[in-house]
């Protein structure tokens, strides 16, 4: 497999390929930055590339400060602590480095530093209010290939008081520059490679299935799924394969580009499970995927037949669904939500919260609370039969 390099603008400028992290400090200097807040987590900050990155910023005349207090599912309190670090450093640039949680936290710190409003005023279901101050530029460096947050205008932050995940949106949260350097993902454990890769698949798949005319998003989503079909297992089982790692980084960014069209019940069910069971978002998406596919079958079968053909998967809808199940097995992903900590007494609350999730109205087949509970019950029992009726 050829290792590809490229520079794209879509509209964020993306530097893709091995070694591109070495260009970041100079590009920050070109933006006029003098004081950068590096937002990450404690584990990423220990990786071999991090200290040389800081040295590169120093050589470029940019003073840096670290904020590494990001939780795996970033909390509102993480953002508040990050804003305090931002102000103490008098930062004029945010560099978000890590998985989706660190990227979301960094983007939200930049947003929160530019407003006096509560974060929840920026929930995706509301019209984004005006900012009180100019938002500083954001640079994004993903070290996992999953969320695609590096090319998105949104973030997911946990409201600790309400025990719910909230999607925040503001157009200025879109990073100014992204580095997709597969060398930064080499040390990612196989489990996280698999889970984040399935998150990327969920983004491309759900965006493609949404019932809206958006041929640009559909084209990106189909190609994203093709790349994942050819690279995810290799990236998981041969973690030093730069070509597979780089392809997965691209596919993750493509998924987030495509889901500007929308997402569906995989995500609306995944969010409350993640909030209550603290299960990894990509893992939760992976477990739910075949059940939601089967439920949505009456609305999406022609589209799934088409994408299966593009991916070289025979058997139409059943062939694609079975490929998803086989892929999960190959990646060591469980078949039921029981493995995530979901129990039968939780189904009513989870389905009610999923119904209120902003992704539910976009699901290609209408899903009320009862329908969502039916999907969850099937996912708890591990059965697919009857869901498409």
Q: Are residues 180 and 249 part of one domain?
A: no
Average pLDDT, the chain: 96
Q: β-pairing, 13-16 with 177-180?
A: parallel
Mean pLDDT in residue range 247-267:
97
Please tell me the pTM assigned to this model. Answer: 0.94
Q: Are residues 251 and 145 part of one domain?
A: no
Q: Residue 47: inside a domain, yes or no?
A: yes
Q: Residue 3: inside a domain, yes or no?
A: no
Mean pLDDT in residue range 283-311:
98
Q: Residue 230: inside a domain, yes or no?
A: yes
Dihedral sign computed on CA atoms, order 138, 144, 148, 151: positive
Report residue 126's pLDDT band, with 50, 70 and 90 as the boundaries. Answer: confident
Contacts 24+ apart (CB under 8 A), 321-326: 321/290, 321/293, 321/294, 321/384, 323/229, 324/201, 324/289, 324/290, 324/293, 325/290
Report residue 52's pLDDT band, with 50, 70 and 90 as the boundaries. Answer: very high
Q: Are residues 155 and 242 part of one domain?
A: no
Q: Residue 388: inside a domain, yes or no?
A: no
Q: Are residues 207 and 135 part of one domain?
A: no
Mind listing the pLDDT tens digit for each residue in 337-351?
Answer: 999 999 999 999 999
pLDDT for position 331 = 98
Question: Domain ends where: 185, 212, 232?
Answer: 185
Question: Domain ends where: 153, 185, 217?
Answer: 185
pLDDT higher than 80, residue 317: yes
Provide the domain limits for residue 23: 13-185
Phi/psi at 185 (nearest 5 deg)?
-100, 0
Q: Which residue has the tokens 């493995």?
A: 339
Q: Residue 148: inside a domain, yes or no?
A: yes
pLDDT for position 376 = 99
pLDDT higher than 70, residue 86: yes
CATH code assigned at 269: 1.20.1090.10
Q: Which range (110-114, 250-254, 277-281, 337-341) has the least confidence?
A: 277-281
> Do residues 353 and 263 touch, judged by C-beta distance below 8 A?
no
Q: Which range (1-10, 313-322, 345-354) has the least confidence?
A: 1-10
Report residue 7's pLDDT band, with 50, 70 and 90 as the boundaries. Answer: very high
Question: Domain ends where: 137, 159, 185?
Answer: 185
pLDDT higher than 80, residue 2: no
Q: Residue 1: inside a domain, yes or no?
A: no
**At a CB cut-off of 8 Å and minimum separation 6, what does 317 contact?**
297, 301, 304, 305, 308
Counting Cα atoms < 13 Å in the Cβ hemisphere of 249 gives 33
121 or 3: whose pLDDT is higher?
Answer: 121
Other beta carbons within 10 Å of 357: 23
3-state secondary structure of 288: helix
Mind listing the pLDDT tens digit for each residue in 173-214?
Answer: 999 999 999 999 998 999 999 999 999 999 999 999 999 999
pLDDT cut 70: percent of the chain above it? 99
The end-to-end CA distance of the chain, in Å, is 42
Mean pLDDT in residue range 42-68:
97
Per DSSP, the residues of 162-208 read TTEEEEEE-GGGS-SEEEE-GGGGTT--HHHHHHHHHHHHHHHHHHH
Total domains in the fold of the chain: 2
Report residue 1's pLDDT band, with 50, 70 and 90 as the boundaries. Answer: low
Strand-pairing partners, residue 41, are: 69
Q: Residue 5: inside a domain, yes or no?
A: no
Mean pLDDT in residue range 208-222:
97
Nearest CA to 277 out of 148, 155, 165 is that of 165
Q: Residue 4: inside a domain, yes or no?
A: no
């Amino acid at each position: 497999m050829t290792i590809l390099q490229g520079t794209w603008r879509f509209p964020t400028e993306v530097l893709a390929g091995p070694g591109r992290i070495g260009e970041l400090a100079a590009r920050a200097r070109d933006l006029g930055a003098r004081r950068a807040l590096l937002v990450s987590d404690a584990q990423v900050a220990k990786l071999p590339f991090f200290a040389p990155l800081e040295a590169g910023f120093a050589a470029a005349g940019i003073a840096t400060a670290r904020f590494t207090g990001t939780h795996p599912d970033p909390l509102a309190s993480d953002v508040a602590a990050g804003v305090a670090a931002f102000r103490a450093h008098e930062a004029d640039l945010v560099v978000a480095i890590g998985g989706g949680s660190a990227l979301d936290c960094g983007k939200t710190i930049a947003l929160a530093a530019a407003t006096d409003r509560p974060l929840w005023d920026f929930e995706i279901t509301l019209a984004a209010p005006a900012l009180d101050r100019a938002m500083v530029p954001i640079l994004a460096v993903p070290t996992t290939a999953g969320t695609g947050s590096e090319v998105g205008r949104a973030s997911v932050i946990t409201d600790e008081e309400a025990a719910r995940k909230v999607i925040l949106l503001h157009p200025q949260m879109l990073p100014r520059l992204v580095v997709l350097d597969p060398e930064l993902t080499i040390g990612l454990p196989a489990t996280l490679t698999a889970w984040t890769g399935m998150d990327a698949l969920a983004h491309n798949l759900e965006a493609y299935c949404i019932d809206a005319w958006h041929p640009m998003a559909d084209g990106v989503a189909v190609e994203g799924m093709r790349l994942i079909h050819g690279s995810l297992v290799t990236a998981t089982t041969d973690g030093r394969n730069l070509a597979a790692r780089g392809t997965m980084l691209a596919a993750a960014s493509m998924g987030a580009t495509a889901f500007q069209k929308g997402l569906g019940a995989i995500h609306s069910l995944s969010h409350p499970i993640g909030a209550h069971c603290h299960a990894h978002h990509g893992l939760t998406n992976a477990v739910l995927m075949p059940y939601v596919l089967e439920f949505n079958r009456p609305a999406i079968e022609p589209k799934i037949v088409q994408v299966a053909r593009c991916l070289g998967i025979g058997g139409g809808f059943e062939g694609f669904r079975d490929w998803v199940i086989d892929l999960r097995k190959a990646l060591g992903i469980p078949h039921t939500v029981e493995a995530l900590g979901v129990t039968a007494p939780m189904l009513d609350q989870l389905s009610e919260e999923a119904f209120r999730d902003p992704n539910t109205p976009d699901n290609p087949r209408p899903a009320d609370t009862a329908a969502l509970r039916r999907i969850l019950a099937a996912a708890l029992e591990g059965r697919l039969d009857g869901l498409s009726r």
